[in-house]
Amino acid sequence: MPHSKNRILSRASPVDLEDLRPHLRVIEMQPGKVVAESRARVNQAYFPHGGILSCVVELEDGWTIESGMIGNDGVFGAAQALDSKASLHKVVVQVSGLASVMDAEHLKAVALSSPDLLALLIKYEQFFLAQVQQTTACNAVHSVEQRTCKWLVRMSDLVGTELPVTQEFLAQMMGVRRTSVTGVASQLQKEGLISYSRGKISILNMDLLQRRACECHRTVRELYATEFNDTERPALPARHSACP
C-alpha cells in the first residue's frame, strides 16, 4: 500500500485512510522544487515516502537558514489546511523522493469529520514546532562540528547513508560560511567518519558520527518516539565525552 510508506498516513485508522485515499495521488518530488513560499497560502499537503522537504527562513541579507526538516516521518501542509493559514516558511525539496499529495480542502474535510485523524495531525504539528525550537537553540549554542554531525545524522534517518548534498548547500542550511563546513568535513573525512565527493556525502561510521553530534537530534528523535510510540529506530549512543 504505497500511501502507508509515510509514517503519518500509516498511523491513520483504516477508515480514515479509506476516506483519504480517493484524494491522494503519488508524485515525484524534484530537487529544488519550491513547495511553498513564505506567507503564501498552502493549497496542498505533502506526505513524503522518501526524500526530504526543507523548511527555511530567508533573510534580507541573502542568508537562508533551515528551521526544520520533513521526511517520511511527517507531513507538510496539514496544519495550514486545517486553518487556511499561510506557510510560515519557504519549503523546498532538499532530496528527491516520492510523496502522497492531496488538496488542502479535501484533507480539511476528512480531518474535521474524524477526531482521531485531527488529533494525529495536530500531534505532528506540535512535534514539528518542538523541532523548530530545538533547531533555534542549537544554532545559537552548538559548534559548527556538532551541528554538521547532527544534520548528517538527521538526513540519514530519512534517506540513508548516501546523502546527495554539497558542502555549499549544507553551509547554507546551517547559516554558516562554506569554509567553516569545509574544515569540519575535511576533519571528519580524515578521521574516517565520512567521505565526500562533488555533490555527495557518504557516512562511513554512523556510531561515531552520532557521538560527535550535539544532543539536539537525540532530543527530537526521543520526542517523536514518545509522541508517536515509535519503536522503528534504535536509541542513539551517548554523545562523545570529548565534545564541548
For 152-200, the pLDDT digits (tens) are 999 999 999 999 988 888 888 888 888 999 999 999 999 999 999 878 9
What is the average per-residue pLDDT within 213-236? 82
What are the backbone dihedrals phi and psi of residue 147, each rounded to the nearest 5 degrees, phi first?
-70, -40
Q: Which three cell numbers stand for residue 64?
A: 537562508
When pLDDT is cut at 50, 70 and 90, the band that residue 242 belongs to is very low
27-66 residue pLDDT tens:
999 999 999 998 888 999 999 999 999 999 888 887 788 8
- State the DSSP code for 199: T
When pLDDT is cut at 50, 70 and 90, the band that residue 132 belongs to is very high
pLDDT of residue 4: 84
Q: Which three cell numbers stand for residue 203?
A: 557516512
To the nearest 10 degrees (0 to 180), the angle between helices 167-174 and 144-159 is: 110
Which residues have CB under 8 Å from 67's CB, separation 6+?
55, 56, 57, 89, 132, 135, 136
Q: Select from 52, 204, 83, 216 the least CA-distant residue to 148.
A: 216
- State the DSSP code for 29: E
Residue with cell 494525529: 120
d(CA 54, CA 76): 10
